[in-house]
Amino acid sequence: MLLAHRIRLDPTPVQRDYFARAAGTARRVWNWALAEWQRQIAAGQRPDAMALKKQFNAIKYTHPDWLDADGQPWLRTIHRDAHSQPFAHLAKAWSAYFAALRAHRPAHRPVFKKKGRCRDSFYVANDKLRLDGKRVVLPKVGPVPLRESLRWPGKIMGASVSREADHWFLALQVEVPEQVACLLRSGDGVTGVDLGVSAATLSSGEKIAAPRPLRATLRRLRIRNRRQSRKVKAAKMTAGIAGPMPKGFRLPVSANRTKGARTLARLHARIARVRTDFIHKLTTRLCRENQTVVIEDLNVSGMLANARLARAIADVGFYEFRRQLQYKATRYGTTLVLADRWYPSSKRCSCCGTHHGRLMLGERTWTCDYCGAQHDRDVNAAINLQRLATGALAAQSALPVASLAATPGTAADMGSAGGGKVTPVRHEHGQQDGSGQEQNDAHF
């Protein structure tokens, strides 16, 4: 099983400078390769990533565009992995684009990357780095301290160094043995989860409030955005520019504008960390304590089209919640069931199964006209989702109510969505001492 461990680095100022130059090199090579790819398509040719790489290798040390002010090839100061991997990434991006077209899904062409508008990162091959406890030895820079040691044993398949705000991180992709990657659950329950913009409601009636970090820091974020906008406006006035920026022109960078940009980036990074921490802890708990988890197959992209709810939905992270459940279900042997997005989980009475009819978004409680039961909207939906896994409502619904998780290779591929018999934990195999630290992992 392939797992990734993302570790924060503590580089020196010289190492930070190299990381920034290596990320800039990867970005510039990507832009060169994409421009050449598009030029060949316009000329009626069929571009190939490996052919582009050979073409670039033939000019990278001699062409004037890749020489410094002294006429020396500055690419020699950057390790070759940083300017060779963008070709593979570009080929993968075009393959994903054409695959989406063939599947009639929304497709997006690869675009050019701009400094300050894209993620700074570069690739390091597995044979070019070496781990030594809480240190990693990287090419061109030598040993760099790590905040923690690598969590799992196994073969390192590759690594990437990336920047988040003013911090640098090393992401290691590790091939972990199955007996180490698989963890033991602490329970064998079946639970339904109704995910809302303010809380996640379980079928047991428990409501777990979402932190909603963007909402909590929105005022501070607006203040810092206005401050940065005023600095940019002052720089344009100093340069004598009125209106839109001319193409290719760069404003002179002042120390205050750089400081404000870093402050704003740190705030955005903190918002993302708070949201990710909550989702990791909740999804780990659900997979660890249950044999089957049932969620709704939400149309997140369609929900984000609603201008009134888009910010609240994005602040909770609906799709990230589902993505983490899918890969963690593999590690815990948990079955993930997806309820059909048209299944009326909120409108169906969990006591008698009667359909309530029209239910407005603002109605948080309602009373069943048939049996008189009073329901909390979210708790009722979570209970109905739980019963889908056990087949309790299968005879009362004519809709396609549930399906297995759509991720190939997950544990949901191994069982039936109808549920029924539950296997006790004592009959399962796996690691006997789950550390619980997988809440910070990412799955490739």
Q: Which residues are catalytic?
A: 194, 296, 378
CB 118 within 8 Å of CB 27: yes
Q: H or E element: which one contains 106?
A: none
The first and second tokens of residue 59, run together, are 């000019």
Phi-psi category of 291—alpha, beta or left, where left has phi over 0 and alpha has psi -120 to 50? alpha
Residue 124 backbone phi and psi in degrees, to 5: -130, 125
Interatomic CA distance for residues 300 and 304, integer angstroms? 6
C-alpha distance from residue 166 to each of 134, 260, 372 (Å): 21, 12, 58
Q: Dihedral of CA 263/265/267/273: which sign?
A: negative
Residue 43 backbone phi and psi in degrees, to 5: -85, 5
Interatomic CA distance for residues 178 and 180, integer angstroms? 5
The DSSP 8-state label assigned to residue 61 in this structure reads T
Residue 425 CB partners (closer than 8 Å, separation 6+): 184, 185, 186, 187, 188, 291
Interatomic CA distance for residues 104 and 116, integer angstroms? 33
First to last CA, the chain: 9
The first and second tokens of residue 302, run together, are 């369609």
Residue 352 CB partners (closer than 8 Å, separation 6+): 368, 370, 371, 373
- Strand positions, DSSP E, 166-241: 167-175, 189-195, 199-202, 207-209
Quote the distance between the C-alpha of residue 49 and its chain's center: 26
